[in-house]
Amino acid sequence: MSRAEALALGLLRRIDPERAHGLALSALRLGLAPLPEAVASDRLRIDLAGLQLPNPLGLAAGFDKNAVALPALARAGFGFLEVGAATPRPQPGNPRPRLFRLAEERAVINRFGFNNDGADLIARRLAKRPRDAVIGLNLGANKDSADRAADFARVLRVAGAAVDFATVNVSSPNTERLRALQGRRALTALLAGVLDARATLPRPIPVFLKIAPDLDRAALEEIAGVALASGIDGIIATNTTLARDGLRDPRASEAGGLSGAPLFERSTRVLAELSVLTDGALPLIGVGGIDSAETAYAKIRAGATALQLYTALSYHGLGLVAQINRGLDAALARDGFSHLAQAVGTGRGDWL
């Protein structure tokens, strides 16, 4: 982390977390934020469902919900970016305060509730996106929708032509009853509708499914079966958790999804389980608690082809992106891997 970045993060931590996040996005949009140099290494290049990534580390959805800072983020060293979640109609989300730092735990709790500018405006911004970056869109549903399952397909029809991949997000804990769409029958129908919408786009794009970490083995078996039968292109494991095991911060009692370091073990166990259940038939994207090269490498060895992070940036800044990629490259070289794909799943037994 550069001195300027450390100073900026220190100042941002003194103010309301949601306001701080807005200021960080404004600094990126205006070109005021320091950006790390990209790490180039043939060892880190990866094919993710046909997407050619310069490195496996992506920016998770939620950081740039409304696609307002893509030119800067495309130069920050990520292998790919995901914006959103976008819903068909704009919505304000849940009442504030709805974002809480748990600094001692290196964690965050949020209950945003899919606040966003709506698919139409986000699509117009994505039409002006940097073309030399891999950029995807997280699909969501309006809170008051009469047909939430259909909302995902609506967003894809509106904005799908402007992105390189799309993610079906049925795992946010902050929209009431949304996670019920992870059941076999509901999920099968929802994914069929999304894939029908994909068929209307000018070019086919990969569709991923983002799942919750709070699922038992039977639920994971069901989701893996639906995913394999549906024709989607990968699974993102995982979203935030409702669990609060072992947390000491008094803000841990706030409602919402927990992300950051405490999510690492739970999400990585789910990732390893899915790696076994899908047996290489679908690429997996590991997310949840990544805050170092060591945790990133553990996700890859647990079965992830690619990775995403978000919460750790609020504690370590964008310089973490280059730090993780350098550390991953060194770990692969140390263990005798000439290409990241060779390491995928080699340590999943440690999590089962």
Catalytic residues: 172
Contact assessment for residue 35 and residue 75, using Cβ atoms and an 8 Å cutoff: yes
Q: Distance between CA 232 and CA 128 in Å, rounded?
A: 27
Contact assessment for residue 288 and residue 266, using Cβ atoms and an 8 Å cutoff: yes
Question: DSSP class of residue 197?
Answer: H
Label residue 303 left, alpha or beta by phi (over 0 means left) and psi (-120 to 50 means alpha). left
Closest by CA position to 110, among listed 293, 276, 258: 258
Q: Distance between CA 268 and CA 263 in Å, rounded?
A: 8
Collapse the DSSP code of 245 into the 3-class scheme (helix H, G, I; strand E, B; otherwise coil) and give the result.
coil
* Distant-in-sequence, close-in-space partners of 185: CB < 8 Å, separation ≥ 6: none
Collapse the DSSP code of 211 into the 3-class scheme (helix H, G, I; strand E, B; otherwise coil) and give the result.
strand
Strand ranges in 244-303 using DSSP code E only, listed in sequence order: 257-260, 284-287
